Structure 1
């Protein structure tokens, strides 16, 4: 009976969904315990489920203040779920990517001598060890920097500073956005000794383990070239960070409710912070709900795109966005095939990218329409909330806690599918790719 309930191990995408679903259920059960709340009474099941899903999916949307509602035990449960979610996403996505690469490599290149159809034990150990080493190293260094700043710069007791440093370091690297302050990191908006370590952890976690591994290998073997995936990710990620920083800083420069109340240095620091945090980090140093509508729209776009593949960031991923841009550019030029950085893109990859994007758009539209029907809030706020949940960002205009339970459950589903959907869908499509034995007569319908 139990074997029937468990997913088929030959279907890795199903295993991923099952594993994360189980983590959400266990986290919900722990947060329902009376000891998890500061009041000592059981928490509402919707609140517990929402928080557990947000933590496991490293989103950061909250319906109750983390420090005020949850006890130390509850905070540690949230922290553990964030760590499990971040490590799980990076590990499983990296393994799925390696599995896809090897299967397609065998099929297309016919190099059976050097490629295998499945991952061997050495590959699995290498990926898991690499992910854990990178995660713990970055989190430790970030926690040390934040602890020193909290203790020396703000006079916090060392134990308190260490606890806050570790919590925010783990949350930053995993792009979770959970904070132990009621207004996120707004009190540190002009403090580079807090903001910069957080931003560095966000970027490293958001690039993805394959890119980090490629950079490390490139530094050790100077003659080795970065993979196409790594080059596309780094270029697109950097371009989007620059675009986000410039637009947020320009649009909010004179807004007295956001950047307008800071000096030039503070404006630039906050502008950079909010140019990076839509990569799915979720922290904020200014009031998002007071931003100009144009800034919110730009943030919507950045949140939907997200960060790097096989990392802690969500969204459709920067590589998916870049691939579609390359396809469009080739089509506009009338080129029959898509060439990028000295390589040709397979037709199957182009179709997979298009599928992921269109399904993502459909999910956001469906969720936005549902939230509009279930809540009294306007389109700007609801759309922002939907994209934030789908992209596992965690930024909010402040309406999350005021949504009815039915609307919060919609966000729970959106966070879960948004976190796992692009990964499992892309891998499932790639692993199911097969040749066609015949072709039907060709006929072109009218486009446009």
Structure 2
């Protein structure tokens, strides 16, 4: 029986949402300190809150330049928020409990299941420990490469620091960087090493820890679950389609791909497409993209990454189920079938619900931003979807936001990271079972 605090049942969704809110609150306090800013002054509360939310929700939208505005202390606070936000509140708590040899209760296991979007609690603690091991290993290898690469451009201690920061940021799909001038990775658009390592980090972070664990075990088990098959196939399809369309749309754009040779054009197109899974890093100037490319990116960002990953959006599996339902209806089929498995009707209802709630959030936030910000509608829509999908790519609006606009984006980043349905469950009154059912009605559709 869950405990009650002033009549409020502490359900897993509420604990999950409260955990992220607590991390954001602590991060806001630390980033507000004079020691966190190069100026030695207190960072305005709304700016500290915005940065802490963006880091904890692994989004990457910034209103000040991380590399020049914050001190090393401030940057380390941001890095800590990214790591906590990427791994998740309950994952971190569980690691400390295991390290201190504390018993993981059934309630804790249920909360872990909810935080990772798992179907059951079997093996959840073992998965958490593997998540931490895989994350540390992947980030360490990437950090070593970045350190080696940047040691040619800067002193070794700085290269090591940059390597660790960017490895953690990119793997957790956060999008924060220290290169300065809001340039992101644009100076390295032709650098195959940085591009390939960054793309691998993004993909490994966006496919989700469940899939990652199954891929590691594949040589032994020779099997993948339906979830992993759907995530991997959808990731490959959307990445290739996105890269092809970006390549076509931007091929002659002199402000993005135009000046590059063919190999670099292909590399940049693939990088931008992979980044749309929720990474927030870019190697071309997003503000100079054509309208068709930006609209394509909006669609991809809305879809987002896989469940139990560091990404946001409505999730890949939701999108695949909706596409499957559409194709089944067009073909006159009763069931949605994926990889020779029938999808339960309840999952189709959930996918539809997730999509419509996501659309409502995006529409509402876009309307609100349009009311408080003077900017082209496409740029406003791009920023709203980027926040909802915790992507972090910006069309140039974020640095121009007023207080009202910052509050709207903060809410969207929080909703996108916690999850639209998790947040809905967290805010709803304690559910009560209805004592009766209404008679079924008939409506004419279409």
Structure 2 CA distance for aligned equivalents of residues 160 and 68 of structure 1: 14
Structure 1 CA distance for aligned equivalents of residues 308 and 243 of structure 2: 24
Q: Is residue 95 from structure 1 mapped to residue 113 from structure 2 by the alignment? A: yes
Structure 2 CA distance for aligned equivalents of residues 302 and 378 of structure 1: 20
Superposed, which structure 2 residues align to 1:177-326 within 5 Å?
177-181=175-179, 182=181, 183-222=183-222, 225-326=223-324
SS at match of 1:175: coil
Structure 1 CA distance for aligned equivalents of residues 246 and 112 of structure 2: 32
In the TM superposition, what is the alpha-carbon distance from 1:338 to its structure 2 partner? 1.7
Superposed, which structure 2 residues align to 1:20-99 within 5 Å?
20-88=20-88, 91=91, 95-96=113-114
1:376 is aligned to: 374
In the TM superposition, what is the alpha-carbon distance from 1:437 to its structure 2 partner? 9.5
Greater share of residues in helix: 1
2:96 is aligned to: none
List alignment gaps of at least 5 residues for structure 1. 103-118
Structure 2 CA distance for aligned equivalents of residues 398 and 98 of structure 1: 33
SS at match of 1:260: coil
2:348 is aligned to: 350
Among 395, 406, 409, the residue aligned to 1:408: 406
1:4 is aligned to: 5
In the TM superposition, what is the alpha-carbon distance from 1:396 to its structure 2 partner? 0.4
Structure 1 CA distance for aligned equivalents of residues 116 and 83 of structure 2: 22
SS at match of 1:161: helix
2:138 is aligned to: 138
1:116 is aligned to: none
In the TM superposition, what is the alpha-carbon distance from 1:78 to its structure 2 partner? 0.3
Structure 2 CA distance for aligned equivalents of residues 98 and 24 of structure 1: 20
TM-score by length of 2: 0.89
Task: Deviation per CA, 1:111-149: give whole Å up to 9, x if none.
Answer: xxxxxxxx47xx343122111011111101111111111
Aligned pair count reads 422
Q: 1:254 to 1:7 in 2, by over 3 A?
A: farther
In the TM superposition, what is the alpha-carbon distance from 1:221 to its structure 2 partner? 1.9
Q: 1:317 to 1:99 in 2, by over 3 A?
A: closer
Structure 1 CA distance for aligned equivalents of residues 7 and 147 of structure 2: 43
Q: 1:5 to 1:194 in 2, by over 3 A?
A: farther
**Mapped contact 2:82–2:168 kept (Cα < 8 A):** yes
Structure 2 CA distance for aligned equivalents of residues 209 and 434 of structure 1: 34
Q: 1:124 to 1:340 in 2, by over 3 A?
A: closer
1:115 is aligned to: none
1:147 is aligned to: 147
**Mapped contact 2:275–2:281 kept (Cα < 8 A):** yes
In the TM superposition, what is the alpha-carbon distance from 1:218 to its structure 2 partner? 2.0
In the TM superposition, what is the alpha-carbon distance from 1:435 to its structure 2 partner? 11
In the TM superposition, what is the alpha-carbon distance from 1:337 to its structure 2 partner? 1.9
